[in-house]
Amino acid sequence: MTHMTLEEQFGESPVVEYVLYGGKVVLKYNDDDHAYYLDGPEGRITVPNVTSIIGVIDKSNVLVSWAVREAINYLTEKLGLAGEEKHLILPATVEEAEKWLEEARKAHRTLSKAATDIGKMAHNWLERYGKLRVAGADHLAAMYRLPMPENEKAKNCVLAALKWVEEHHVVPHIVERKVYSQTYNAAGTLDWVGLVDGKRSILDFKSSKALYDEYRFQLAAYQSFYTEETGETVEQRILLRLGKEDGAFETRTFSDAEEYEADLQVFQAATVIYHRQEELEAEYRARREAEKDEARAVKAAEKERKAQEKAAEKERKAAARAEARTARAEAKAAKKAAKSKPAEETLSADELARLASS
């Protein structure tokens, strides 16, 4: 868990408090960065969310296959090979070919962004519908009080979900409920809690192309958290897929107790992996900081050494210049003194020198 100052964590971001466990736990949620926090003795502490914990499960095979498929679909259409009447279209220049390849590489991201927007629109509509139901409106009243999404695909998602809600006599009691586990020190958001065909259920809406196994593990965690706090028994978990591309609707219901325990064990294992990865990441960051500190110390020492060498060299040159000036001054003084002696003394000295040499 990361300890940070209030300013470092939030700045001006709005933080909403949720009082849980009869007032014993105050969970804080920052909607801007989708992060959960608790205030502890050492300050504000980040609480991992269930989605991040489940995220340690490797899904690369599915994602890579999907990305490759979308790239192929993009190029198939650009090359004129889509549909029944195929006519080959080639890029006119090398630059255009490179552009096509680059766009194909990003095709899955473009599609994902558009699909996410569709799913979000449908999810937001159903959230508002659910809150009206919790406030006392019946199915028809809540449905007609809200304008349908303008996007046709988002509207299809909503209509499919409403049809299922009516068929299964869904009565939402709680919508968008924050849950926190003291056992696992993790948090998340339940979409709906209520009755489905008369059974207490937790529901999770997913805007996706499929109902992946990771979703059931996530929902098992939510069930565990909810029961831990409230003591209420949940009879079934229900995943509802809002087709993010075509408005298709799909549900999966999990009511077997053994399946719940098995799915919860996967979440428990993911929790162990998540925290170990966090520890290793913290150790890596600490090593990197130590390496940076050491590098900075070496750099500072080298800088100091060079400064000292530069200062010593400066002193040496200054001393040499001073010595040279002194020598020149002495030579000049000697020359001047020599010129100021009487001529006869100079000749007498010369004669004496000649006599001495003979």
**189 — pLDDT class (breaks 50, 70, 90):** very high
Same domain, 35 and 136: no
Same domain, 31 and 111: no
Q: How many residues does this entry show for the chain?
A: 358
Most confident of 101-110, 193-202, 323-332, 337-346: 193-202
* Domain enclosing residue 119, as ranges: 53-255
Q: Is residue 37 part of a domain?
A: yes
**166 — pLDDT class (breaks 50, 70, 90):** very high
Same domain, 230 and 82: yes
The DSSP secondary structure of 270-286, one letter per residue, reads HHHHHHHHHHHHHHHHH
Average pLDDT over residues 331-357: 67
Whole-number pLDDT of residue 173:
97
Please say whether the beta carbons of 162 and 172 come within 8 A: no
Is the per-residue pLDDT at 176 higher than 60?
yes
> pLDDT tens, 300-311?
999 999 999 999
Average pLDDT over residues 317-328: 90
Is the per-residue pLDDT at 110 higher than 90?
no
CA distance linking residue 146 with residue 122, whole number of Å: 12
Same domain, 29 and 177: no
**What's the Cα-to-Cα distance from 109 to each of 8, 218, 225, rounded to whole Å?**
31, 24, 33
Same domain, 127 and 37: no
Is the per-residue pLDDT at 320 higher than 80?
yes
Q: Is residue 101 part of a domain?
A: yes
Q: How many domains does the chain divide into?
A: 2
Please say whether the beta carbons of 19 and 178 come within 8 A: no
Beta-ladder partners of 189:
178
> pLDDT tens, 46-66?
999 999 999 888 665 545 665
Any idea what the Cα angle at residue 173 is, between residues 50 and 182, rounded to 5°? Answer: 35
**Burial class of residue 50, CB neighbours in 10 A (0-12, 13-18, 19+):** buried
Same domain, 251 and 196: yes
> pLDDT tens, 4-31?
434 444 444 578 999 999 999 999 999 8
CA distance linking residue 353 with residue 138, whole number of Å: 136
> pLDDT tens, 234-263?
999 999 998 766 667 889 999 999 999 999
What six digits make up the tokens of 113?
């962004």
> What percent of the chain stands above pLDDT 70?
80
Residue ending a domain, choose from 14, 31, 47: 47
Q: Burial letters for 24-34: b for 16+ Cβ neighbours within 10 Å, e otherwise?
A: eeebbbbeeee
Whole-number pLDDT of residue 257:
94
Same domain, 192 and 245: yes
From the list 79, 87, 124, 131, the residue with the least C-alpha distance to 104 is 79
> What percent of the chain stands above pLDDT 90?
55
Residue ending a domain, choose from 197, 228, 255: 255
Same domain, 40 and 58: no
* DSSP state at residue 81: -
pTM across the whole model: 0.69
**What's the Cα-to-Cα distance from 19 to each of 46, 127, 131, 179, 190, rounded to whole Å?**
17, 21, 19, 10, 15
What six digits make up the tokens of 235?
């009879």
Q: Is residue 302 part of a domain?
A: no
Most confident of 76-80, 100-104, 334-338: 334-338
Least confident of 1-5, 285-289, 294-298, 339-343: 1-5
Measured over the CA atoms of residue 338, residue 342, residue 345 and residue 350, the dihedral's sign is positive
Most confident of 31-40, 205-214, 223-232: 223-232
Phi, psi of 212 (to 5 degrees): -75, 155
Q: Is residue 284 part of a domain?
A: no
Please say whether the beta carbons of 62 and 212 come within 8 A: yes
Q: Is residue 95 part of a domain?
A: yes
Q: Is residue 61 part of a domain?
A: yes
Residue ending a domain, choose from 234, 255, 276: 255
CA distance linking residue 184 with residue 225, whole number of Å: 9
CA distance linking residue 268 with residue 33, whole number of Å: 25
**What's the Cα-to-Cα distance from 101 to each of 77, 79, 98, 159, 314, rounded to whole Å?**
13, 11, 5, 38, 61
Same domain, 38 and 144: no
CA distance linking residue 345 with residue 335, whole number of Å: 16
**What's the Cα-to-Cα distance from 287 to each of 4, 98, 188, 310, rounded to whole Å?**
20, 41, 32, 34
Same domain, 79 and 115: yes
Q: What's the maximum distance between 2 C-alpha atoms anywhere in the chain?
A: 142
Q: Is residue 74 part of a domain?
A: yes
Average pLDDT over residues 153-164: 89
Question: Which stretch of DSSP H or E encloses residue 19?
Answer: strand 15-20
Q: Is residue 291 part of a domain?
A: no
Is the per-residue pLDDT at 38 higher than 80?
yes
CA distance linking residue 202 with residue 219, whole number of Å: 8
Mean predicted lDDT score pLDDT of the chain: 84
Same domain, 13 and 146: no
Same domain, 67 and 216: yes
